[in-house]
Amino acid sequence: MSREPNYEFQEWWNKQREKNHDFFTNDSNNANKGFLTVEIRSLNPDLTTEKDRSRSARQLSWICLLRFQQLANSLAWITNSFLLLLRTANRRISAADSPSDSSASRLYRIIKFFLFLVVLLLCVELVAYFKGWHFSPPSAASAEAAVELFYALWLEIRADYLAPPLQSLANVCIVLFLIQSMDRVLLMLGCLWIKIRRIKPTASMEYPMGRVETGNVDDYPMVLVQIPMCNEKEVYQQSIAAVCIMDWPKERMLVQVLDDSDELDAQNLIQAEVQKWHQKGVHILYRHRLIRSGYKAGNLKSAMSCDYIKNYEFVAIFDADFQPAPDFLKKTIPHFMGNDDLALVQARWAFVNKDENLLTRLQNINLSFHFEVEQQVNGVFINFFGFNGTAGVWRIKALEDCGGWLERTTVEDMDIAVRAHLCGWKFVYLNDVKCYCELPESYEAYKKQQYRWHSGPMQLFRLCFLDILHSKVNKAKKANLIFLFFLLRKLILPFYSFTLFCIILPLTIFLPEAELPAWVVCYVPGIMSVLNILPAPRSFPFIVPYLLFENTMSVTKFNAMISGLFRLGNSYEWIVTKKLGRSSEADLVAFENESDSSVTETTSFLRSSSDSGFEELSKLEVTSRRSVKTKRNRLYRMELTLAFILLSAAGRSLLSAQGELTVGHYRCHLESEMQVTLTQHL
């Protein structure tokens, strides 16, 4: 292989030759005596020398044309992407709305008009800012242009006509906010007192833990367990299994699976699961209604109308996604013994997916405060709280005494609790008995749930207000039901949270003559948020998202409250909360397999089931998995519109960062200038 030329040496040699030209070359007169001229030149061009890159006019025109084509393609791509984004957003916003969204059309139109008004005011303030009118507002008398006259009239109108009523409404909301905050503080003090004194309900007896002996069952009362469900294909197995393996004598317990499913494959799956547990010796029945009237309340009412119900003393209710512990009945039933006036024993909810995403973490904050503080304090001090609809045990006599399940509202659990309280029955809340369940993991499911939870109490308040006034309970209980249970916690809370922080606060930025104190906007909400998070201390890093989330949800809660109070939209329609089938028992299947060895021969009471039936069950499960389609996220127009309103208000507040003179300040400024001028003349 030939050696590569040494360019560095050649370059050095040529430089040396140029410096010592006389030494290396002969003079023209001494050509024969001088040294021989030596010149080494590289055949390759010098790499450090740049080649002339001059282009012709034709080449330049082609380059410009190529650059223009690339720019046009980029602009076309950006335009198409933007249009695709707009079409996708419009398609998702205008998708089929839920009942809560359809009933909110009036409120949405109001908020949309409010957004238009806010954007218009922001444009006016931008013009005023660039004109410098924030520091020296023009007056109607000295206005030279139409724009100055319009702005001067606007300042006078907002100071004399708009700011006073807005300030009055703000003062009313501030008073309601302080009352509700005081209620929260008192609840926290009550909870602190319970923790310090270690107060908790005690039972007069206890059942031994472990398997019940077959001969010692007389001390165990007859218990009816109900599992209402509707198209619960994701959770039916774990809920039925959790109830069937509870530690209670089999002959002293009957399980009712109350299926309201309108899907045939869901009915077949649930019925096959019931048959499987029949064969294992569990007294379990499958009930299905052809007509789903009254939703959950109608389902429970239909189940309680059976003749064999008279043989049972207590009824435990679990929704389809609830998984009670095996010792649930042994921890709740003893509280009824010796307390003949006790109607309900309510257990606490615990969540298997509270750390699944940000939405479930924020829900856990609210529900932890509800169970740890509200339910516990009300249960200890006044023996009354709202039944949560599940994870509770009722005395059947109390249900019959207060009229049973009624189909008049979508909160049948709260309805039966209020009527039982008016009949003189007492409630017990067990904070240390937990029943695992599942939180909604999508915003759509959570929004539907919150709509029902906030519209139902207003329906109930309209229906039972006169019953509360005419009841035989004392005045303290009547006042607690009307002012605290319904008005303060179910009506005032969503009213002021939406009105004060979503309407009045942005308006005060555009109408600075109406003011909100800093402690109303910042300090008190911050303190209340800290108090709400105290029952869930692990959620402290999410305090800022929690504040924003509550502000967002106030729109849905306010709309639900108004719809329920005035019977607007589909406020009486029940939407089943979507579940995903999260399990809290990792060894549930292993426990079920171990129980197979204790399977006994079934009597004529049990239905027959063959192996081919289970093969068909497997086929149905595979088909149901294949039929599941990935659901895209929707864009929620009310929340987006409200976000743009708050964003416009934030833009307006940036203009005020340089300082601003209101009409009142400007009048004071003019008066002071006139006084100075008059003094100088005098």
Q: Domain containing 240: what range?
A: 185-193+220-469+492-566
Which CATH number covers residue 236? Answer: 3.90.550.10
- What pLDDT was estimated at residue 23? 44
CA 679 to chain centre: 64
Residue type, 12: W
Supply 168's token pair: 């009055």
Specify if 404 maps to a domain.
Answer: yes
DSSP assignments along 521-540, one per residue: IIIHHHHHHHHHHTTSGGGG
Specify if 361 maps to a domain.
Answer: yes
Contact present, 378 and 385 (Cβ < 8 Å): yes
Specify if 536 maps to a domain.
Answer: yes
- What pLDDT was estimated at residue 599? 37
Task: State the angle between helix axes of 105-131 and 637-655 in degrees (0 to 180), rounded to the nearest 10.
Answer: 20
User: CA-CA distances (angstroms) from residue 390 to 278, 407, 481, 486, 680?
Assistant: 24, 17, 22, 21, 81
- What pLDDT was estimated at residue 310? 93
Specify if 260 maps to a domain.
Answer: yes
Contact present, 324 and 553 (Cβ < 8 Å): no
Specify if 462 maps to a domain.
Answer: yes
- What pLDDT was estimated at residue 57? 73
- What pLDDT was estimated at residue 490? 93
Query: How many structural domains is the chain composed of?
Result: 1
Specify if 96 maps to a domain.
Answer: no
Supply 37's token pair: 């001229």
Rounded Cα–Cα distance for residues 299 and 366 (Å): 29
- With a CB cutoff of 8 Å and minimum separation 6, the contacts of 89 are 635
- What pLDDT was estimated at residue 127? 85
The DSSP bridge pattern shows strands 342-351 and 426-437 to be parallel
Specify if 33 maps to a domain.
Answer: no
Supply 571's token pair: 């406020």
Rounded Cα–Cα distance for residues 582 and 599 (Å): 27
Residue numbers in the chain where pLDDT is lower than 70 = 1-55, 88-104, 143, 212-215, 581-634, 657-682
- What pLDDT was estimated at residue 463? 93
Q: Based on C-alpha coordinates, what's the Rg of the chain? A: 39
Cα dihedral value 12, 18, 22, 26, nearest 10: 90
* Residue 596 DSSP class: G
Alpha helices (H) along 47-135: 57-93, 99-102, 105-131
Supply 618's token pair: 């497997």
Burial class, 478, CB count within 10 angstroms (exposed 0-12 / middle 13-18 / buried 19+): middle
Specify if 121 maps to a domain.
Answer: no
Residues assigned a catalytic role: 260, 413
Q: What share of the chain is helix, strand, coil (3-state, %, to 5)?
A: 60, 5, 35
